[in-house]
Amino acid sequence: MPVVTRVTDLIGRTPLFELATTATGTRLLLKLEQFNPTGAAKIRMAREMVLDAERRGLLSSGGHIIESTSGNTGLGLAVVAAERGYRFTAVVDHHACKDKLRAMRAMGAELVFVADEGDDNLATSAREDLAESMAAAQADAYFTEQHNNDANAVGYYAVADELLEDVDRVDILLSAVGTGGSLFGTATRLRQLGCPPHVIGVEPVGSIAFGGPGGPYWQSGTGTPPGATIGTAVDYSLLDEGVKVSDVAAFATARAVAAKLGLMLGGSAGGSVYAGLTRLEEFPAGSTVVTIVCDGGEKYLDTVFDDDWMSDRDLLDGDTEREVLGLLDRYSPARRKQLVEAR
């Protein structure tokens, strides 16, 4: 890579990690987006939303960006705002990871909370309402509105380009659905490139995007909580399957992968990996299954990887962690290679 002069020049070309392989050659590959600046995929779409607003004349020099965020979009916008000379206000709640909030502040963002200290409930709808009203009240402000912004999905087109530079094809694209941009933007571009994948969206139990009863959940930055509006970035026309994974299973997976491999995954990625591991042998032989890991586990040391926090919320489950460890052993690519060589 050449020497660069902007942090956003470091976005992309994230690695693929082969997590699991079956005896029939089906592989589960992880697109490790934590290797982007800010440690998350969402800096891709944060940059694209700002560039799109500039092209359309919605942001002028010295303008004010406002967004409702659970953390990673805010981190990306904080970087882009700092580079391009904008003010940035993140409308947040205390459900967000504390380290994400601290990092946004460190990069010059103003934080506006919609709930009192100690109230750690997810408040997506309240955040979005406040962000919209704040932007409407200021002549130089622009609400990026990630859930309903076409540039969100476009920001992930490069993920598809990168995937097809590294593998011949993507048969199954299986990933978490929050705003929907990463999954459906990548799927759209894969179709444009002549590689239409089977698309499986994953959301937490309690999220309402794929139907079913709504309820509280702890997976951060993913799903649509009760009372929130499902945004236009969720493109149901591209969705082949929608599945739900509990917080217990998602977090147990993230913890098991960390303990077994030293690879830190965020909680929502844990949900996608759990769905992939438990269904791997159901997919056609020789399939290439890709999961987009939207961020790493280092941001969740005081939640997903903290035994006390997990126990206080009845999320700690040794049996599920052992189940995942068993699947990792069973499908270990290194072990599979050893067996093949032994023959």
Catalytic residues: 42
Closest to 180 in 3D by CA, of 88, 294, 287, 260: 294
Beta bridge partners of 141: 64
Closest to 275 in 3D by CA, of 307, 303, 241, 237: 241
Task: Give the C-alpha separation, 317 to 305, whole Å.
Answer: 12
Cβ contact 180:234 at 8 Å? yes
Task: Give the C-alpha separation, 167 to 159, whole Å.
Answer: 12
Cβ contact 252:320 at 8 Å? yes
Q: Nearest 5°: CA angle at 300, between 226 and 319?
A: 80
Q: Nearest 5°: CA angle at 31, between 26 and 37?
A: 175
Cβ contact 220:300 at 8 Å? yes
